Amino acid sequence: MKIAAIVGSNRKESYNLKLTKFLQKRYANRFELEIVSITELPFYNQDIENTPPESVTQFKAKIKAADAVLWVVPEYNGTVPGIMVNAIDWLSRVDRVMIGKPSWIIGASMGNLGTVKAQAHLRDILFASGVNSPLLPSNEVYVGAVHEKIDAQGNLIHEPTVQFLDSVVNNFIAWYDSFHAAISATK
């Protein structure tokens, strides 16, 4: 399975990016996780949605080619960072490449609540008609106090979180497989 990871932070030392890279390594034998950058996307503009710049075309093509999308969301001011909303706006228009594509969500913050509000908003957005992405039920991953759980080398050193991620990954793969079996049965 090929999963595209969209990370909603553009800072070099992003904990959410480090968490994604940790997942990339730890579950390399379960799926291929490609981090698809959204930092160079221009602001969405309806005037150019049918003739977008190359960065948008390439971004959409990578998402279209993926079997599923992992959204790694920081929390800004109690919601989804604008950079991630911007990426979703592009994906929701013209060829609407998220329709029917399975998604799951994780997120990390330095606060204790671990992006709970941002994830609630993101769930709503992904279900919205323009995006229409089937979402892994439950299995909500809120990594709070992330600065105490990731070491200088980018390793997730908080064992309960690692074990929880192991179970969520298992659940995601089982859900993804059953989802596809259900779709195939209707064809």
Site for ligand FNR in 103-142 (CB under 6 A): 109-111, 113
Measure the CA–CA gap between 144 and 142, rounded to whole angstroms: 6
**Residues 163 and 133 sit within 8 Å (Cβ to Cβ):** no
Total residue count of the chain as it appears in this document: 187
Question: What residue spans of 31-109 are helical by DSSP H?
Answer: 54-65, 82-91
| Nearer of residues 19 and 97 to ligand FNR, judged by Cβ | 19
Record the tokens describing residue 130, joined without a space: 């323009």
| Nearer of residues 16 and 92 to ligand FNR, judged by Cβ | 16
| Nearer of residues 112 and 184 to ligand FNR, judged by Cβ | 112
Name which position in 6, 16, 27, 90 contacts ligand FNR (CB under 6 A).
16
Name which position in 30, 76, 93, 99 contacts ligand FNR (CB under 6 A).
76
Name which position in 4, 5, 15, 136 contacts ligand FNR (CB under 6 A).
15
| Nearer of residues 38 and 97 to ligand FNR, judged by Cβ | 38
Measure the CA–CA gap between 104 and 160, rounded to whole angstroms: 20
- 164 binds ligand FNR per the rule CB under 6 A: no
Measure the CA–CA gap between 134 and 126, rounded to whole angstroms: 8
